[in-house]
Structure 1
Amino acid sequence: MMAGPDTSFWQARFEQQQTGWDRGGPSPQLLDWLAHHEVPMGRVAVPGCGHGWEVAELARHGHEVVALDYTPAAVDSTRRRLQTLGLRAQVVQADVLHYEPPAPFDAVYEQTCLCAIHPEHWGTYAAQLHRWLRTDGRLLMLIMQRPRPAAIEEGLIEGPPYHCDINAVRALFPERLWHWPKPPYAKVAHPSLSHELAVVLRKR
């Protein structure tokens, strides 16, 4: 049995409107990246797309977006948002741990997917992102910082959202596979989930 929450867990969260990770709009960091042309034009994947705010924003800026989520409610919500705004993107119901794109992506926007996956599966997910991207493609990451006392003091794995320690993330996305910018990294406040660290990696 797969460790961590399954599709039914996330479906219930959407149906009960318990989506505390949702800002009610696109991330300010994505808006900044778009303003500074950090997102290369072309095919962009958004794994764990949720309500699709960032999918719509990327589509509005002319990107060819592929939104992924294995929760039916998330897929439906993203499709409705795009339809309401008159925007186009491909929305796929799929498990990111097994999805294989028909062609490489120029960029991946990773916001709340890693921290929603049980850490036991982080290695698989990191390998997937590397395979999805073309050489020199960009991985735009918002790394969730959600430390809990029991996790620090007793080693408990608590989540979702799971705390994405920057040292663990460096091990998942090593320098031999990715170009890392020098720290410190931008700190992005979240209304209900502490904060995220914003990092743009390039695939070697």
Structure 2
Amino acid sequence: MSGPTLDFWQQRFENGDTPWDRGAAHPQLQRWLDEGQLAPGLATLVPGCGRGHELVALGRSGIAATGLDYAPAAVALARERLGDLPGRVLQADVLDWAPEAPLDRIYEQTCLCALHPDQWRRYADRLHAWLKPGGRLLALFMQARREGAAEGRVEGPPYHGDINAMRVLFPASLWDWPAPPYPAVAHERGWFELAVVLTRC
């Protein structure tokens, strides 16, 4: 399998070697909450939830979201952080997992860019299958272009989510795209993410 293994992620979380972690929920999450994109009563998923910062923010807003993560260490950390707040954390491989019922919202921040691009097509198909028609994918597409890209190298994680590649991965035949420009949210490591809300057709 291309890309990072389960052992890779487990060791990262066991050792606290998670430089992508802001130490708090992504600032775009609060904007989407303020806009009503996320709300109590909407079946919400956070794939690749890591330490669970977003699950905590959602739980404090009364949203019982489901978080998924591949690494047992991440699941344990997220469950500890979530505590008695609404929500739950499951250990699962997003390429094989399926929800009990179709979802209203998926908050996609760190999962896509953590997967090797060879796996993106399968993951994108899963996202589409998980959502109800009219459901929304709240995506933060990572912009982390490396110098090696000029030589055709695929480097990560995080893997660069070029917007043209995202348009192919989430085609207009399956997803309703808002018109650009899209908000760019900076990361302290010099990357940034494009915030895009896609609606499942």
TM-score (norm 1): 0.96
- Residue type of the partner of 2:74? A
Tell me, which stretches of 5 or more residues in structure 2 are unaligned?
A: none
Number of positions where the alignment pairs a residue of Structure 1 with one of Structure 2: 200
Equivalent position to 2:177, from 169, 177, 180:
180
Q: Which segment is superposed worse, 134-143 or 40-49?
A: 40-49
Corresponding residue number in structure 1 for 2:60: 60
In the TM superposition, residue 39 of structure 1 has moved relative to its aligned partner by: 1.8
Give, in whole Å, the separation in 2 of the partners of 1:131 and 1:110: 15
Query: Any idea what SS the aligned residue of 1:184 has?
Result: coil
Distance 1:149 1:189 in 2: 19
2:77 alignment partner AA: S
CA distance in structure 2 between the partners assigned to 1:202 and 1:56 by the alignment: 25
Once the two structures are aligned, what percentage of the paired residues are identical? 54
Taking structure 2 as the reference length, the TM-score comes to: 0.97
- Per the alignment, residue 95 of structure 2 pairs with 97
* 1:50-199 → structure 2 map (5 Å cutoff): 50-83=50-83, 86-151=84-149, 153-199=150-196
CA distance in 2, matches of 1:193, 1:199: 20
Which structure 1 residue ranges, 5 or more long, are not aligned? none
Aligned equivalents of 2:43, 2:78: Cα separation in 1: 18
TM-aligned CA deviation for residue 64 of structure 1: 2.5
Q: Counterparts of 1:193 and 1:162 in 2: how far apart (Å)?
A: 14
CA drift of 1:193 comes to 4.7
Cα-to-partner distance string for 1:19-50 (whole Å, 9 max, x where unaligned):
01111100110011101112254110000000
Q: Counterpart of 1:192 in 2: which secondary structure?
A: coil
